[in-house]
Amino acid sequence: MIVKTLENVLGTKGEAHGDKWHSMRLLHAEDGMGVTLTDSILEPGFEMTLWQKNHLEACYCLEGGGTVEELDTGKVHQIRPGTLYAMNNHDRHRIRITERTRIVCTFVPALTGDEVHDEDGSL
């Protein structure tokens, strides 16, 4: 059984952060579950173009909000507590945050834990 707290991840390769975002990667490849689970805080003004071309990603908003835009179609979806959005076709998307947001995400296959986003927004 794997039992972790956010405090267990602080200062490890599972802690990732950048301008207006902080993510705790609670599960990654070495845990042997086949999935990564993250708990992330996104600050107002956060905006990023992402493309998980190597992973499928699902995100669930617990607090806060903003929008996610499907870049191939231009369709914009509101994100608020209780919203799930999933990139089931490796969709290129842009996320914009308007208030402090807490979001939980999964990645399949699992991340190694120390990836960084490439120029095209992929991990």
Per-residue pLDDT of the chain in tens (123 residues, 90 and over written 9)? 999 999 999 999 899 999 999 999 999 999 999 999 999 999 999 999 998 888 999 999 999 999 999 999 999 999 999 999 999 999 999 999 999 999 999 999 999 866 665 565 555
For the chain, which domains are there?
12-108 (2.60.120.10)
Q: Which residues contact 109 (CB under 8 A, 6 or more apart)?
A: 29, 34, 35, 54, 55
* The predicted structure's pLDDT at residue 113: 64
* The predicted structure's pLDDT at residue 53: 86
